[in-house]
Structure 1
Amino acid sequence: MDISAKATRLLELHHTGTTLVLPNVWDAWSARAVADAGFGALSIGSHPLADSRGQGDNEDMSLDDALDGVRRICSAVPDVPVTADMEAGYGATPAELIERLLEAGAVGLNIEDTVHSEGGRLRSVAEHADYIGGLRQAADAAGVDVVVNARTDAFIKKDQFEDPAAEAITRLLACEEAGARCTYPVGAPDAETLQRLLDALAGPVNVIANPRKGSAAGSLEDLQTMGVHRVTFGPLLQKELAPDLAALVAPWK
């Protein structure tokens, strides 16, 4: 499957009427294991990828570091569409980021509005939307249906806002208008808030979940009933595996 076909397939999976679950992988081994489990598309989490490399999240990796990991994962599952968390862009222009992401083999990306390389500042509504719009324009110019997933940290930085949900909606509506194909209000605290977001936003919405414990808004079945379009695990899949690994090897010490 060529890069354009993989991108179109990933985009189509967001509009099937069922909830798309994209487990977050971090290396070639985990990618092959999840693909072999029957998942038709995968996500790369920046945090687990950084952990697998012995580096830190929050843009402690360089763009070269991150794309090296992306390339290895995409090469391991050549027929599976892969989307990658690219944090706030690692200082790259939108055109550079899209060009290099596609060259590495990924066909989607998360971009958040917290710029960790600049002291963790939060981009303004317009600044974040402009960056998202630049990504979409670059993807369109390349003729590839890259799935740009616009993330906001309004709930994580909730102390900055009187109404974090309203701020998240404002930010994500601007990103949708700019060309985001999916939006990601990370940290939405409960089902009521998530429903408010789903009602306000026009396109697919991404929810984070723990593969053992579900999401803040409930189980996969609950999310499906609400009409959630996409679920990812962030660093939580890797985190949940650590105690299992320790328990497996402990009797041999």
Structure 2
Amino acid sequence: MDIATRATTLLELHHTGSTLVLPNVWDAWSARVVADAGFTALSIGSHPLADSRGQGDKEDMSLDDALDGVRRICSAVPDVPVTADLESGYDTAAAELVERMLEAGAVGLNIEDTVHSEGRMRSAAEHADYIGAIRQAADSAGVDVVINARTDVFLKKDEFSDPVGEAITRLLACEEAGARCVYPVGVPDAASLQAVLDAVSGPVNVIANPRTGSAAGSLEDLQVMGVHRVTFGPKLQQELSSDLTALVAPWRQA
């Protein structure tokens, strides 16, 4: 399956009328395991990828580091569409970011509004401009790249008098700029999520824990609400830590 076909397939999976679950993988092994479990598309989380490399999240990796991981994962599952968390873009111009991401094999990307190198959040307009430039670069390449525009407003809610309203403003601006999906990470409850769903017109991504669900409820709850996409962020990898500990602990020498 060529890259343009993989991208179009991923885009179409966001519009089937059912909730698309994209487990976050971090290396070739985890990607193959999840694909073999029957998932038709995958997501790469920056946090678990960084952990797998012995590096930190929040762009402690360089773009070269991140894309090395992306390339290895995409090569391991060549017929499965993969979207990658590229944090805030690694201070990289949109055209270069899209070109290098496609070369690595990913057909979608998360872009957040926290600029880690500067320790600040982009304004709503600034973030939308970057999303728009990414969409323009993707369109110029002739690939239906799935841009998942993330806002960190709920992670920094004390900085805003109306976090729900601020998140909606930012997500609407990103939709207008060309995002294919929007991501209010850390949405605190079902009421806040419902407000976002009511306000935006396109798909919404929600983070969940594969054992315990999301802050807004279980997978079934999210399906009833009309959530289009669920990812796990670092939570799948983190949940496996206790399983690994339990598996090896009986073999530890006293």
Deviation per CA, 1:91-144, whole angstroms, max 9, x where unpaired? 11000000000000000000000011112x000011000000000000000000
Tell me what 1:123 maps to.
Answer: 122
Tell me what 1:62 maps to.
Answer: 62
Deviation per CA, 1:149-197, whole angstroms, max 9, x where unpaired? 0000000010110110100000000000000000000011011110000
Q: CA RMSD in A?
A: 0.3
Tell me what 2:227 maps to.
Answer: 228
Matched, 1:8 2:3: no
Deviation per CA, 1:3-44, whole angstroms, max 9, x where unpaired? 000000000000000000000000000000000000000000
Whole-Å separation in 1 of the counterparts to 2:168 and 2:19 = 21
TM-score by length of 2: 0.99
Q: Which runs of 5+ in 2 are unaligned?
A: none
Tell me what 1:95 maps to.
Answer: 95
Matched, 1:29 2:6: no
Tell me what 2:239 maps to.
Answer: 240
Deviation per CA, 1:56-93, whole angstroms, max 9, x where unpaired? 00000000000000000000000000000000000110
Give the counterpart letter for 2:222 in structure 1: L
Q: Which runs of 5+ in 1 are unaligned?
A: none
Tell me what 1:147 maps to.
Answer: 146
Q: Alpha-carbon deviation of 1:220?
A: 0.3
Alignment length (residue pairs):
252
Give the counterpart letter for 2:50 in structure 1: A
Whole-Å separation in 1 of the counterparts to 2:3 and 2:131 = 21
* Residue pairs, 1:185-224, within 5 angstroms: 185-224=184-223
TM-score by length of 1: 0.99
SS of the aligned residue for 1:66 comes to helix
Whole-Å separation in 1 of the counterparts to 2:39 and 2:177 = 30
Whole-Å separation in 2 of the counterparts to 1:244 and 1:192 = 33
SS of the aligned residue for 2:38 comes to coil
Whole-Å separation in 2 of the counterparts to 1:41 and 1:227 = 19
Whole-Å separation in 2 of the counterparts to 1:233 and 1:117 = 25
Whole-Å separation in 2 of the counterparts to 1:52 and 1:222 = 32
SS of the aligned residue for 1:128 comes to helix
Whole-Å separation in 1 of the counterparts to 2:158 and 2:194 = 21
> Identity over the aligned pairs, expressed in percent?
83
Whole-Å separation in 2 of the counterparts to 1:131 and 1:157 = 21
* Residue pairs, 1:38-187, within 5 angstroms: 38-119=38-119, 121-187=120-186
Whole-Å separation in 2 of the counterparts to 1:94 and 1:159 = 30
Whole-Å separation in 2 of the counterparts to 1:182 and 1:225 = 18
Deviation above 4 Å: which 4+ runs of structure 1? none
Give the counterpart letter for 1:211 in structure 2: P
Tell me what 1:19 maps to.
Answer: 19
Give the counterpart letter for 2:17 in structure 1: G
